[in-house]
Structure 1
Amino acid sequence: MMRWIEKLSRMLGGKDKDGKPAKSTKSALVKLVALALVGMALLAASHLFSEKGSSAPSTAEPAFSTKDSKNLSEIKAGNKTGSMTSIEKYESYVNQNLKNILEQIRGVSDVSVMVTFASTEKKIYQNNTKVQDNQTSETDPKGGKRQVTERNEDSEVVMIDQDGNKVPVVIGNEQPTVRGVIVVARGADQSSTKVAIMDAVSTVLDLPSYKVTVLEKND
């Protein structure tokens, strides 16, 4: 260390006649040593703070997590399958099946069907019904007697516990009521074919014929 200081002092200003560093050299050397000590202190402090910061657990969550991300194709597929309501699924099911059966009629092809509904699907709940009959005897002024029966019915939906919540018991679904049907097909310009289409739709959907419209499809 002393050799390094002496070498540094000779570089800064040389020595006097007694071989001692000159005053200007001593002043420069003192400043240099002070700067070195300050630098070492700063390095030690920064190392200490960095250790403290790395040991503390990080509570901040990333703004975007790759484990929760979905690619575009997955999002599109989810929208196609998950966005349809139960009534839309039932409507699509009825339209497709009606189209398939009508295209099997002789002279009918290229069928398009649209079925509209007057109501949505309804759930059928299990009910607990209590019936109580009360009978009373009445006598009229002439001495005649008669029995009067009074019936009281009390019905309530059966509830069960599910995950801490009370939910009703569903025993079935009541399909929506069909309001009307439009059929557009090739071959419907023939009166006999048109009647056959109307009869088929009325039979399948239990619908009066005046709620069924059959039209010829354009070329």
Structure 2
Amino acid sequence: MNFKEKLKELSKKITDKKYINNLLIIFIVGIIILIATSIFNDNVSEKETNKRENKNEKSSTINFTEDYGQLLERRLENILSEIKGAGKVKVMITLEETSEKVPATNSNQSNEKTSEKDSQGGVRDINREDSNVEIATKGSDGSLIVLKEIEPNVKGVIVVAEGAFDMEVKEKLYQAVKTVLGVSGNRVEVYSSK
């Protein structure tokens, strides 16, 4: 009996319009809250992603010179240690300046020439030049479009090798560094290690 009575009460509540309206309002408010939190979370996660990307771009541009120099050092150490008799090799490279990025630009230039003669025989020439240069950007974030990056020049190189006490090995190391980096001899020093 209990079960039948509960079913009758539930069927009366379901048929009651006030009860149905209250349930409908609660359901709509719940959906609105879910949509609002979803939109808010998307905006927050999008902002965090943009912040991380900007931080990564800044750190990559700040460390480019350092990374480029370290990359050169590592590659040079690897190849120089392969020279017969060189043994363990350490390399230090200093760079003159930072890298240079050449941005893409849109430029417009116009020339206008006018020649006027007055009644007394005088001539007046007017030359007008207009130029407009705009740096090209991509996307809504406004980041530059880079055409090319000019790597920094090598200022000096020091090579320390176990086998550099032998003059023949020292000369091979010296010539190899000059050839690989394309620097003059006065920028390269080769020493023997302890």
Structure 2 length normalisation: TM-score? Answer: 0.54
Q: Deviations over 1:98-125 (max 9, x none)?
A: 0001011111011010000000111121
1:126 to 94, 101, 104: 104
- Name the CA shift for 1:199/1:132 in 2 (closer, same or farther; >3 Å): farther
Structure 1 segments (4+ residues) deviating >2 Å: 127-135, 152-158, 160-163, 165-168
Equivalent position to 1:184, from 143, 160, 166: 160
Amino acid aligned to 1:128: N
Give the share of equivalent positions with the same residue, in percent.
Answer: 28
Aligned match of 2:70: 92
How many aligned residue pairs are there?
122
1:114 aligns with 2:119: no
Q: RMSD of the TM alignment (CA)?
A: 3.0
| Counterpart among 158, 166, 173 of residue 135 in structure 2 | 158
Query: For 1:15-164, what aligned pairs fall within 5 Å after superposition?
Result: 85-129=63-107, 156-160=133-137, 162-163=139-140
Verify the 8 A CA contact 2:80 2:176 in the aligned structure 1: yes
Counterpart residue identity of residue 182, structure 1: I
Could you tell me how far apart the structure 2 residues matched to 1:205 and 1:159 are?
A: 33
Change (3 A) 1:157 1:203: farther
Say which structure, 1 or 2, has more relative contact order (CA 8 Å, 6+ apart): 2
SS at match of 1:202: helix
Which sections of structure 2, spanning at least 5 residues, go unmatched? 1-58, 114-128
Bigger radius of gyration: 1
* Equivalent pair of 1:117/1:176 in contact (CA under 8 Å): yes
Contact 1:116 1:178 in 2 (8 A): yes
Query: What amino acid does structure 1 have at the position aligned with 2:191?
Result: L
Secondary structure of the structure 2 residue equivalent to 1:109: coil
Q: Are residue 207 (structure 1) and residue 162 (structure 2) matched? A: no
**Which has a greater percent of helix?**
2
State the 1:171 CA deviation.
Answer: 1.8
